[in-house]
Structure 1
């Protein structure tokens, strides 16, 4: 519920002012309120782009202990998580600026069911190809936390980027954050049209979510310094190329901070 009754006696009805109705016992006003644009212009390669901060949200993908912490899942199977930790510092600088500018921060992270009924054998096979390895939902050898299971330490966002009051958290079960999740409904309720992206892995879950957003008609901007991957360098290069060529824009968080001013 939004604010209380206005002078005309109508009460806002809805979780977000941008898309709320106003109602009373005999009337329903479906006219959404005008949203004052808050433009911010920043460089994005060969073009300058102007975004409306009033209709923009930040999507932080998979900055979780299992991917980024030295005691997490990837590190436990011998992956160097240094590249996955690279986005932590720029995100830690950017997110408070976005919150102060009233840009929603949305964490989209793996959060599987304990019974794994939402995971197909094909998906389980990706992470446990022999059936005997530590895969989704299995216990980490070091601390027993369940890999990417909702509510576990393993699935939690790293301490440096811990969600703050007012942030939105969405659990996902695929590389993309859209299938089987409320992400699209949340964004439409917020009145968002432009999405900023950061997180890991840039060439997998970040890209899949960004592409699905693009297919649904959202403007998409990949913040390159806020994204990382433990894949080979050419994967990140291909991701940046494909986003710029087909799916949106490439920008930098420092330029965005300067544009917000």
Structure 2
């Protein structure tokens, strides 16, 4: 495992059947190539990839059913390129933060993870709250702004500034990012 780092893919398995979906879709289209590149880089570097996803209110479902529901949703083209592979880990969440009432903290500690690279959606909601919860748990957080999607661009920009200023989140440009410890 490269330097105690994990890639956390947040809520990218989405049916796009919610009220903010239309506002979100174009931003997801822009972020998708960067999320795909992060997935490739993480897998090439043997970095754990952990999908943390809403359960769509289906408490009896497992991750395979969530993937199927997202692929059957309105925007399959936004889901198919980033579905979990057989080595990916999966955590189901019910609220905004990847940590709230989930076993993620325990999993990360078991894996010896100190740094989280967050990507996915929505910058001004789930990404922001997850970064805060990671910060208070003493994880280092890195975000490539192009690899997170938003509903409201102004709020997303403010959220990124807040994460960087108040939560010591490292914001990195895609060309300057690597999973090796020296980048």
Kindly tell me: are residues 167 and 246 of structure 1, through their superposed partners in 2, closer, same or farther at Cα, counting changes over 3 Å? same
Confirm whether residue 114 of structure 1 aligns to residue 58 of structure 2. yes
| Aligned ranges 1:19-98 → 2 under 5 Å | 53-66=2-15, 72-74=16-18, 78-79=22-23, 81-98=25-42
Answer 1 or 2: higher relative contact order, Cα 8 Å, separation at least 6.
2
CA deviations over 1:93-143 (Å, ceiling 9, x no partner): 221121111111111110155369xxxxxxxxxxxxxxxxxxxxxxxxxxx
Partner of residue 129, structure 2: 208
Kindly tell me: are residues 115 and 213 of structure 1, through their superposed partners in 2, closer, same or farther at Cα, counting changes over 3 Å? closer
Task: Indicate the SS of the match to 1:86.
Answer: helix
Q: Give the superposition deviation at 1:176.
A: 0.5
RMSD of equivalent CA atoms: 2.8
Kindly tell me: are residues 258 and 176 of structure 1, through their superposed partners in 2, closer, same or farther at Cα, counting changes over 3 Å? closer
Kindly tell me: are residues 221 and 83 of structure 1, through their superposed partners in 2, closer, same or farther at Cα, counting changes over 3 Å? same
CA deviations over 1:3-51 (Å, ceiling 9, x no partner): xxxxxxxxxxxxxxx8xxxxxxxxxxxxxxxxxxxxxxxxxxxxxxxxx
Contact 2:24/2:150 (<8 A) preserved: no
Q: Give the superposition deviation at 1:258.
A: 8.9
Contact 1:56/1:193 (<8 A) preserved: yes
Partner of residue 151, structure 1: 65
* Structure 2 gaps, min length 5: 72-77
Kindly tell me: are residues 112 and 195 of structure 1, through their superposed partners in 2, closer, same or farther at Cα, counting changes over 3 Å? same
Which has a greater percent of helix? 2
Partner of residue 47, structure 1: none
Kindly tell me: are residues 230 and 217 of structure 1, through their superposed partners in 2, closer, same or farther at Cα, counting changes over 3 Å? same
Contact 1:111/1:151 (<8 A) preserved: no
Work out which of the residue numbers 100, 105, 108 in structure 1 matches 2:44: 100
CA deviations over 1:122-172 (Å, ceiling 9, x no partner): xxxxxxxxxxxxxxxxxxxxxxxx9xx982444468111011121111110
* Structure 1 gaps, min length 5: 1-17, 19-52, 67-71, 117-145
Kindly tell me: are residues 200 and 113 of structure 1, through their superposed partners in 2, closer, same or farther at Cα, counting changes over 3 Å? closer
Partner of residue 164, structure 2: 244
| Aligned ranges 1:110-259 → 2 under 5 Å | 110-114=54-58, 151-152=65-66, 153-155=68-70, 158-231=79-152, 233-247=153-167, 248-257=169-178
Task: Indicate the SS of the match to 2:141.
Answer: strand
Give the count of matched residue pairs.
173
Kindly tell me: are residues 190 and 224 of structure 1, through their superposed partners in 2, closer, same or farther at Cα, counting changes over 3 Å? same
Q: TM-score, normalised by structure 2?
A: 0.83
